[in-house]
Amino acid sequence: MSTTLPLPDDASNGAAPRATSQSSYLDAGMTVRSWLTTHDHKRIAILYTLSITAFFFIGGVVATMMRIELATPDGDLVSAETYNKLFTMHGVVMVWFFLIPSIPATLGNFLVPLMIGARDLAFPRLNLASWYLYVAGGAFTIAALVLGGVDTGWTFYAPFSTLYSNTHVIYVLAGVFVVGFSSILTGLNFIVTIHKMRAPGLTWFRLPLFVWANYATAAILVLATPVLAMTLVLLAVERIAGIGIFDPALGGDPLLFQHLFWFYSHPAVYIMVLPAMGVVSEIVACFARNPIFGYRTMAYAIIAIAVVGFLVWGHHMFVSGQSTYAGVVFSMLSFLVAIPSAVKVFNWTATLWHGRITYAAPMLYALGFIGLFTVGGMTGLFLASLALDVQLTDTYFVVAHFHYIMVGGSVSAYLGGIHFWWPKITGRLYSDRWARFAAILLFVGFNFTFFPQYLLGIAGMPRRYHQYPPEFQTLNVLSSAGAVILALGYLLPLLYLGWSLFRGPRANANPWHATGLEWQTPSPPPQHNFASIPEVTEPPYAYRPDRLGREVVQAREGTR
């Protein structure tokens, strides 16, 4: 299927692999115990990858059942109540147990220390603790699922969640509360590591954008998640004790819940998408053989998105009865986020300009991200407009919009990142041909699944119902059919990456001829990352398009 890359090592690219006399992190111990007690950020990243993949497929199975139900207008597969439980579980699992930890806890955990020339994260034991908290939170959520599920929607709006719902709300609240502390610990670890443990010469404006993105994400994790934690505590007490400040029957204010919830949950969108932007920046620069266009503006744009992202939560509440003036301000601030987001899209495009582009699998995922993120972002502007949002709230337009950002955007970037750094993580190569096929399948399947949902939303189909009028059937069938292609796009990598894990040819230290410290150490990296801590003397993305572009073309030929 593929052969080892016959590439010369290029010293001027900083790509010279060191002698692999050191044992890799994978050889440090083969027992289950050695994995479950490891303090190595790379192994913890693997633990996270396995766990979030499991949750991704749980959330995926639930989504599949929803799409099957929606293939016909009648509620013939599941009852309305079961359908409520399905979309709740899909949301809870995908948001907190897949998307939030996806890139930071896996690729970020693995790569941030490598990219900044550190031997580990600042607090290795805390890093392991964060994984155990993730598992504990997951156990609560699985318990809720097994006991019969939850029907509140992932948003847990009070007073439905506190007074009326007869499902296992408390288990899920406990699960999300606990997994929140897992996020907080990861964020704390990243902030301290990036501040205090950079290699000599690695100034802030020499950091790869992936590190910038994870830094901004970490700040959001640390600042937003505790607010959710307290909100869930208040919600749980209200449900258990029948006293509280959200339920109007108890003298409370349900809008208070919405404000507190979205104060976390809107920045959470940026937790999902900022690391994805970091991944895409790395991939685009490497496969265009060009330095990132406007590196500093890219870094500032990341920070700007993180900061302004904290001030826009009220756009989820345009129809909630909040004051019109608040609505106007939140609407304007929401439009403001589009500016740094657009800066990033334009800069990626400008990076491609005059580059030597190769369409290897990671690049296809990254280009897919740029397109889908742009569509998702533009439709976000529809929803940020006060008047239009009144029409579109709680329709499939919203569903399509955030899936374009979170699935088309973040999941594409996550898979792109997995493909890009797979040789570094595993020390193996995979079949580029199959990988490119899977990337295209994902892109096509995704658009077939979710583009019809924009049209359904504009036509007025509300979300969260298991039945619909027959005139919506054509577009729903198209969406369900697309979901089949999308599912294949997700399953296929399991096969060829699984094959690569055991049978794939060995990768050298830098198969893509990429810049960045992570490519200067052997693949897979030794236990303490670097034989000696590297010194950084040049800015990131020091690609030289004329000469090296041709070598990457050869690299891809080699894998056919």
Which lies closer to another protein via its Cβ, residue 100 or residue 439? 100
Question: Which parts of 108-147 interact with another protein (CB under 8 A)?
Answer: 118-124, 126
Helix/strand/coil for 446:
helix
Question: Which parts of 519-548 interact with another protein (CB under 8 A)?
Answer: 528, 533
Which lies closer to another protein via its Cβ, residue 86 or residue 220? 220
The reply on whether position 196 binds another protein by CB under 8 A is yes
Task: Put residue 508 in one of left, alpha, beta given phi > 0 → left and psi -120 to 50 → alpha.
Answer: beta
DSSP character string of 502-516: HHSPBP-S-TT---S
Which lies closer to another protein via its Cβ, residue 118 or residue 392? 118
Candidates 251, 387, 470, 502: give the one binding another protein (CB under 8 A): 251
The reply on whether position 179 binds another protein by CB under 8 A is no
Least separation, in Å, of the C-beta of 170 and another protein?
16
| CA dist., res. 504 & res. 427, Å (int) | 9
Can you read off the two tokens belonging to residue 91?
Answer: 């949301």
Whether residue 429 contacts residue 2, with contact meaning beta carbons closer than 8 Å, is answered with yes
Which lies closer to another protein via its Cβ, residue 240 or residue 494? 240
**Stretch in the footprint of another protein (CB under 8 A) among 150-158, 256-264, 351-359, 371-379:** 256-264
Can you read off the two tokens belonging to residue 418?
Answer: 């997995």
Candidates 139, 250, 350, 440: give the one binding another protein (CB under 8 A): 250
The reply on whether position 326 binds another protein by CB under 8 A is no
| Burial of residue 476 (number of CB atoms within 10 Å: 0-12, 13-18, 19+) | buried
Candidates 105, 145, 202, 229: give the one binding another protein (CB under 8 A): 229
Tokens 């690729």 -> residue? 107
The reply on whether position 433 binds another protein by CB under 8 A is no
Least separation, in Å, of the C-beta of 310 and another protein?
11
User: Which among 46, 85, 38, 44 is positioned nearest to 65, based on CA atoms?
Assistant: 85
Candidates 163, 223, 459, 484: give the one binding another protein (CB under 8 A): 223
Tell me the sheet residues that pair with 395.
462
Candidates 241, 332, 390, 494: give the one binding another protein (CB under 8 A): 241
| CA dist., res. 430 & res. 438, Å (int) | 12
The reply on whether position 332 binds another protein by CB under 8 A is no
Whether residue 175 contacts residue 133, with contact meaning beta carbons closer than 8 Å, is answered with no
Question: Which parts of 260-279 interact with another protein (CB under 8 A)?
Answer: 260, 263
Candidates 132, 195, 498, 501: give the one binding another protein (CB under 8 A): 195
Candidates 15, 45, 93, 188: give the one binding another protein (CB under 8 A): 188
Q: Tell me how far CA of residue 174 lies from CA of 9, 179, 206, in angstroms.
A: 51, 9, 41
| CA dist., res. 412 & res. 364, Å (int) | 9
> Total residues at the site for another protein (CB under 8 A)?
44
Candidates 129, 237, 319, 338: give the one binding another protein (CB under 8 A): 237
**What backbone torsions phi and psi does residue 460 show, to the nearest 5 degrees?**
105, 15
| CA dist., res. 240 & res. 162, Å (int) | 8
Residues that bind another protein in the complex, under the rule CB under 8 A: 118-124, 126, 184, 187-189, 191-193, 195-197, 222-227, 229-231, 233-234, 237, 241-245, 250-253, 256, 260, 263, 528, 533
